[in-house]
């Protein structure tokens, strides 16, 4: 397995952790019955921490697709290199840090961490052309 594909697998585990952490917080706020229900009208019942976790999960879900595209491009073009491996693992680190940064309100670090992950994703895409 290439380092880029291993990084992609690691991001899947980060996604799993984000879902589990968000769900645990949600269930703490609304209980098991509320969690297994329709979840309509939840905003008033959720703690700020749970709302941040849910937004962090949404952000992760929105951004993982771009990373998948970047890794697929690197793999299919066979442009794997030390540079692409470092970029892929920097993305993993950024996403792993982004979750607690969002959950605990690390300002301005959350935005800087996000930007770092975004930049290395596009660096991977650009590297696939060479």
Query: Mind listing the pLDDT tens digit for each residue in 15-60?
Result: 999 999 999 998 898 888 777 777 777 767 889 999 999 999 999 9
Task: Please state which CATH number belongs to domain 7-32+46-127.
Answer: 1.20.120.550
In angstroms, the CA 57 to CA 73 distance is 25
In angstroms, the CA 93 to CA 103 distance is 16
In angstroms, the CA 39 to CA 47 distance is 15
- If we measure between CA atoms, which residue out of 27, 25, 9 comes closest to residue 95? 9
This prediction's pTM: 0.91
Yes or no: say if 99 and 56 are a contact pair by the CB < 8 Å rule: yes
Domain ranges of the chain: 7-32+46-127
């Amino acid at each position: 397995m290439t380092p880029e594909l291993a990084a992609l697998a690691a991001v899947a585990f980060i996604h799993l952790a984000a879902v589990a952490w968000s769900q645990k917080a949600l269930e703490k706020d609304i209980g098991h019955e509320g969690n297994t229900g329709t979840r309509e009208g939840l905003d008033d019942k959720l703690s700020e921490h749970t709302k941040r976790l849910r937004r962090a999960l949404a952000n992760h879900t929105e951004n993982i697709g771009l990373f998948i595209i970047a890794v697929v491009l690197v793999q299919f073009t066979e442009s794997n290199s030390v540079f692409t491996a470092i970029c892929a693992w920097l993305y993993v680190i950024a996403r792993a840090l982004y979750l607690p940064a969002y959950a605990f309100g690390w300002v301005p670090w959350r935005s800087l961490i996000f930007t770092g992950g975004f930049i290395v994703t596009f660096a991977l895409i650009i590297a696939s052309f060479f």
